Amino acid sequence: MDGVQDQDIELERQAKLTSPAEWLNLASATYFLANIILVDLLSKNIDSDAVQSIMRAYHERLIEMCEGQHQDITSDDFSLQDYLSMLRKKSGSFFAIACYAGARLATDNSRYLERLSEFGTRLGVMVQILDDLEDWKTLEAAESARFSKISLKKSLPALYTLEVLPEKERSAFQEALDRISDQPEAKHIVLEWANRSGAAVYTMALLTQEAESAIDMLQDDFFLMYPKEKLIAIVRRFMGEE
């Protein structure tokens, strides 16, 4: 669904899907499939309170994701603060429910469930920021045919640069972003302004913040050493450390 919204040409090519209708149909089927799997838990030998909690959390998180997606789809002009809040909803919620569901099968202790949900949220935000970096990597490679202008304009480095540049320079940067698919020189302007403004440093600072906060959520004796180390290793890998 995100790919349809961003008009992601490369993703469409890889998945061999030809129309947005196909994408939406497939994504809808995935949600219903997840529902069937959750309902099936009721016939297994699993605590019914746990299953009900997971089913409720699953739907609540999906609604949050829809809220985040709606903000993304309906606005072309949002602040950096709006964007960071949207990331927690549309991507953070997705990973939060994955962490919560697994944890809820093991415990009903709200403190640990909240910590694992927050770990998932932080991880989801990191994934979305890394996705944003993919757009910039494609831009650098000058593969214009594969390039999604929409996702670049709504990426963290672009929104940061728009937020911090003085008015006159902001307009020039915005114009270059608008022309980027059609005019090769616009790419150099965008990269130059982003680099000069410290977009890379800001991105690293935010990734550091999300990674350290995620790891902090696991610093509790309740969590067993082996799974804790595995989860921390995922975060470190996202940070390019392992």
Report the interface residues with other proteins, using CB under 8 A: 79-81, 130, 133-134, 136-137, 140, 157, 160, 163-165, 191, 194-209, 212, 237-240, 242
Pick between residue 100 and residue 202 the one whose CB is nearest to other proteins: 202
End-to-end CA distance of the chain: 31
Alpha carbon dihedral 201, 205, 207, 209, in 10-degree steps, equals 180
Pick between residue 106 and residue 201 the one whose CB is nearest to other proteins: 201
Of the candidates 119, 201, 192, 213, which has an alpha carbon nearest to the alpha carbon of residue 156? Answer: 201
Shortest reach from residue 81's CB to other proteins, in Å: 6
Shortest reach from residue 191's CB to other proteins, in Å: 6
Shortest reach from residue 164's CB to other proteins, in Å: 4
Shortest reach from residue 17's CB to other proteins, in Å: 22
Pick between residue 100 and residue 119 the one whose CB is nearest to other proteins: 119
Pick between residue 75 and residue 109 the one whose CB is nearest to other proteins: 75
CB atoms within 10 A of CB 167: 6
Angstrom distances, CA of residue 119 to CA of 8, 53, 133, 227: 28, 18, 21, 13
Shortest reach from residue 209's CB to other proteins, in Å: 4
Paired tokens of 172: 């020039």
Cα 152 to Cα 170: distance, rounded to the nearest angstrom: 16
Pick between residue 50 and residue 200 the one whose CB is nearest to other proteins: 200
